[in-house]
Amino acid sequence: MGTKALLFFALFSLLAIASVADTESTESDSGLVLNFYRDSCPQAEDIIKEQVMLLYKRHKNTAFSWLRNIFHDCGVESCDASLLLDSTRRTLSEKETDRSFGLRNFRYLETIKEALERECPGVVSCADILVLSGRDGIVALGGPYIPLKTGRRDGRKSRADILEQYLPDHNESMTVVLERFKNIGIDTPGVVALLGSHSVGRTHCVKLVHRLYPEVDPVLDPGHVEHMLHKCPDAIPDPKAVQYVRNDRGTPMKLDNNYYRNILDNKGLLIVDHQLATDKRTKPYVKKMAKNQDYFFKHFGRAITVLTENNPLTGNEGEIRKQCNVANKRH
């Protein structure tokens, strides 16, 4: 009888400990986990990575797009792939707003979705595809590998009407930029690191001619001004014209800390780049990142992690879209 009692209490204690551990896990977890598709679609992350690399080999600018997608989707209230929804008769797509100017390559996310649907129909969300393609795009550009959790579900509505409340513009004050990211949980060095994304890709002349015409912004490096004027010869450029300036002329296809050296030398294209290098709250971190790429990557990885875990839909919330550009039909 004594042995049975001991076994009972031992079992009871183990169950109690398990219950407490489970409660703690639930309370501290946003609903996202590493390798969420381990059982439901074991090849999911490999398929995404394979597709990202194949598409990157054919179209180099896809990696820039996937990185930007994280910012433009996850930065607006929830990381739920609302960015990918097309306009309808009643709602405007986030893709068609001014803040989304220059975003492209959405069709290639559909290519990845189709590959996943062939393997595991109706399992992998577009929100997770958006995040993981961004992560793998960062690696393709020479950036760090960032372990990111999955388990997001897809939203059903565009947030075009509130987008500007969340996404700072390139002409906003540094105070506004820092506050917008702080609301998500990203600190000052994280903001400085995220803007290091300007190390890759290019900027359309529409977004920078105000620094060239009618007068050149005197803070710009004169040698860089000559290059900018060559690329942007018109004071009022055609938004549909192929008129761009590379964000980083030295290593335009590589995510690295050269961006910080450029902006310290007054070679940043956007107002926000200049402010980042001169504002007393951000300049110390700019200097550190200019000297130490590992320091940049550390804070970049942390900031991307926080951004991609911003208020996701999980569990029974939202849906798993059949196509990333259209919400599922309700019967």
Distances from the Cα of 21 to the Cα of 7, 10, 15, 16, 56, angstroms: 21, 17, 10, 9, 43
Q: Is 44 helix (H, G, I), strand (E, B) or coil?
A: helix
Say whether 188 counts as a known binding-site residue. Answer: no
To the question of whether residue 294 is assigned a binding role by annotation, the answer is: no
Q: Is 80 annotated as a binding residue?
A: yes
Classify residue 216 by burial, with Cβ atoms within 10 Å: 0-12, 13-18, 19+.
Answer: middle
Dihedral of alpha carbons 167, 173, 176, 178, sign: positive
Total residue count of the chain as it appears in this document:
331
Torsion of CA 187, 192, 193, 198, to 10 degrees: 140
Please answer whether residues 210 and 272 qualify as being in contact, where contact means their C-beta atoms are separated by less than 8 angstroms: no
- Measure the CA–CA gap between 145 and 297, rounded to whole angstroms: 9
- 251 is an annotated ligand-binding site residue: yes
Please indicate if the annotation marks 238 as binding a ligand. Answer: no
- Return all residues near 68 (Cβ < 8 A) that are at least 6 apart: 103, 197, 201
C-beta of residue 201 within 8 angstroms of C-beta of residue 102: no
Beta partners for residue 153, in sequence order: 313
Is 42 annotated to bind a ligand? Reply is: no
* Active-site residue, from 59, 72, 210, 224: 72
137, two tokens: 């795009």
Active site (annotated) includes residue 72? yes
Active site residues: 72
Annotated binding site for substrate: which residue ranges?
168
List, as residue ranges, the binding site for heme b: 198
Please state the residue numbers annotated as binding site for Ca(2+): 73, 76, 80, 82, 94, 248, 251, 256
As annotated, the binding site includes: 73, 76, 80, 82, 94, 168, 198, 248, 251, 256
